[in-house]
Structure 1
Amino acid sequence: MMIAAALFGNLAADVVSHDDITELDAFLADWFHSHKHSIWTDPMLFITHTHDVLGVCIMASALGLFFYLKKARYWLICLMLAVPGGQLLNVLLKYIFQRARPSFEEPLLTLSTYSFPSGHTLGATVFYGVLAAYLVCTLPRWNARILAVLFACTMVGLVALSRVYLGAHYLSDVLGAIVEGCGWLAVCITGCSTLRRRRDARIGE
């Protein structure tokens, strides 16, 4: 949690001060825009649209229903804190930094909101993070746990890539969102785990 906060602070400071990472941001944004191809554009659009606020809310609702049916109360609480809370935190950070999005003559996407950090990437990070954490804690075999983590990382990476490819965000926007999401996820999981342990301790007295 503290590591995530430190990483995010350093990244945000670099963005605000227009440090070297902003040069890399501009280079990658121009490179992806100049190398866009219809073969990749449609899949990237599909990934990005299925992980907008509505898409993440639908997936989170389905996962929440699963937790409810499994009587996984604390995982349900964690999910309810992580996804909506993370989105609210992201909106607050966008208005604090007020970074303009990449600008092109013929953009694939046109958005009027601020750029840093990426909301799509944040949503994917907290949703797939909760899912992976639950599977790691419940699956009996290590290889299945590793696959769950790899799946979550792959999905977050694809969402982040789609945002940069489509010209909606810079590299530092998606990196900041991943770090932000990991930090917020750590807060939510730690808090719910503490509540569960205290409840178990009271029952055992």
Structure 2
Amino acid sequence: MNDKLRHPRRWLSAALIAGLLVMAAAGALFIFLADEIGEQAWLTRFDLSVAQFFHQHGAPWSVHLFETITFFGNVTTLGVIGLLAALVLAFQRRWSLLLGWAAALAGTGELNTILKNVFRRVRPQLQDPWVTPPGWSFPSGHAMGSFVTYGFLAYLLTRVPSTNFPRRIVIAALAILVLLIGFSRIYLGAHFLSDVIGGYAAAAVWLTFCILVTDRTQQRPRR
């Protein structure tokens, strides 16, 4: 018998501790990055050197490639994925999962907007930039949105009852896609490296919290 089913309280305690550790580590990383960019220290200089390197070595074909990749992290794409997954969950009457999914995605957008307005970091200023997105730079909205959306989607896939479904392969592909989306933002000059890492860190805190709460509602006995 699965240990999770045999010892639910023990598994929940271990999952809670692991989740809290992830949130603490990711939160500490975000605070560190936020503090460094606020002081205009070494991190800002390093960020600029990375941005200039990719801008100088960019080619039209690679720019088109990464523009395609970054498409999978924009608001419209993630919104469509969110709606489709919500419809599937509603059809299956998985209400707690649906609520967790909706809260995770909606909260990500609000959290990113708040953080951007708090830090007000200007985007990379490059000569003849490949892209000129509006708004502030830190943390990356594409990084946060893709991390939470595809991360929670991976969590939902672990709830698929079918044993024939290649969950590990799909989850690995989603993880690679999230990393590529983040890299595309750096390559295109839309964000600094620390913007993307900060986006991942903030997303990890929020995603882990949402999963822990959703898991808790899943394990609560029905009356």
User: TM-score scaled to structure 2, two decimals?
Assistant: 0.83
* Alignment pair present for 1:151 and 2:173: yes
Structure 2 regions of 5+ residues with no counterpart?
1-22
Partner of 2:108: 86
Cα 1:143–1:66, aligned 2, differ >3 Å: closer, same or farther?
closer
Identity %: 32
Query: How many residues are matched?
Result: 201
Matched, 1:51 2:73: yes
SS at match of 2:208: helix
TM-score norm. by structure 1 comes to 0.90
Query: Distance between the aligned counterparts of 1:148 and 1:48, measured in 2?
Result: 19
Unaligned runs of 5+ in 1: none
Alpha-carbon contact 2:72-2:181 (below 8 Å) kept: no
1:140 deviates by 6.2
Candidates 52, 62, 74, aligned match of 1:40:
62
Match of 1:15 in 2: 37
| Cα shift readout 1:14-56 (whole Å, capped 9, x = no counterpart) | 2212333322211110011001111211121122234211111
Task: Please give the root-mean-square deviation of Cα atoms over the aligned residues, in Å.
Answer: 1.9
Among 192, 195, 219, the residue aligned to 1:173: 195
Tell me if the contact between 1:128 and 1:152 (Cα under 8 Å) persists in the aligned partners.
yes
Provide Cα deviations, 1:65-120, integer angstroms capped at 9, x if missing partner.
Answer: 12122222222111101111111100100000000000112011112310000001
What is aligned with 2:82?
Answer: 60
Q: Deviations over 1:128-169 (max 9, x none)?
A: 001111223436669944323311211111110111111000
For residue 74 of structure 1, the aligned residue among 96, 103, 109 is: 96
User: Which residue is equivalent to 1:123?
Assistant: 145
Q: Say which SS state the counterpart of residue 89 (structure 1) adopts.
A: helix
1:111 equivalent in structure 2: 133
